Structure 1
Amino acid sequence: MKKMMITIGALLISASAFAGNGILDGKSYCRTIVSDGSFGQPAGERQHCVSFDSGVAMDNANTSFGNPPEYSAYSVKGRIVSFGTSKYVLSKDLSDIVTISGSAVEGTVLTLQK
């Protein structure tokens, strides 16, 4: 009986960890953007990435023109990731995140980088 209670407790702890901060630490999700060189941006491909580390998300979406990337503490509730003014939804297997609102383009899919 005691062994079963320990097992149940461990399962509850791991389930609640998914709902809190830190589950995405060490992960980076990106998409490729192709620019035609409009508005002074260099033509070619660049990566838009959202990276997670130590409970902080870094979004490099607005780094054109020398702007620094956005850094903000993030939280995860269910499959919704929130930081700053951005909200994202995670796929069930954490292989991608889809922008549902915020500063990035709605409906954009960012894929987990290996």
Structure 2
Amino acid sequence: MINIMNRHLLSRGFNPLDRSAVVLLLKEHSLMNTGLYDNSKSLQIGRLATADAVLVGSLRVNVQGADMPSYEIVFYGKMLAVESGKILALGESHTTTTEFTRDAIRSVISAWFDELDELN
């Protein structure tokens, strides 16, 4: 999921910071044990990394049916300006499919980014 998001960010002129670099940054500042590293503190992490924006996302999968299951895949995303806290982008995309595959996940995340393009 992260690689898919990074490709979309790179193609739109962003320079994503790798999660391992964020973890290293937090270790260097001795913040791993303070509870700072969670989604609700994304802006503080962005400031530490001198980032312009932070993308917070989550993926939810609902399984429906037992004999012939279908999968509802939902991606929620929010992009925040680090300096002001302003929401730059907010939304969700979803699909329902009979097969839970990497391509289905890629499609849902790509649809979220495509909606961003339509707004600009």
Q: Larger strand proportion, structure 1 or 2? A: 1
- How high is the TM-score relative to the length of structure 1? 0.29
Q: Whose Rg is larger? A: 1
Higher percent of residues as helix = 2
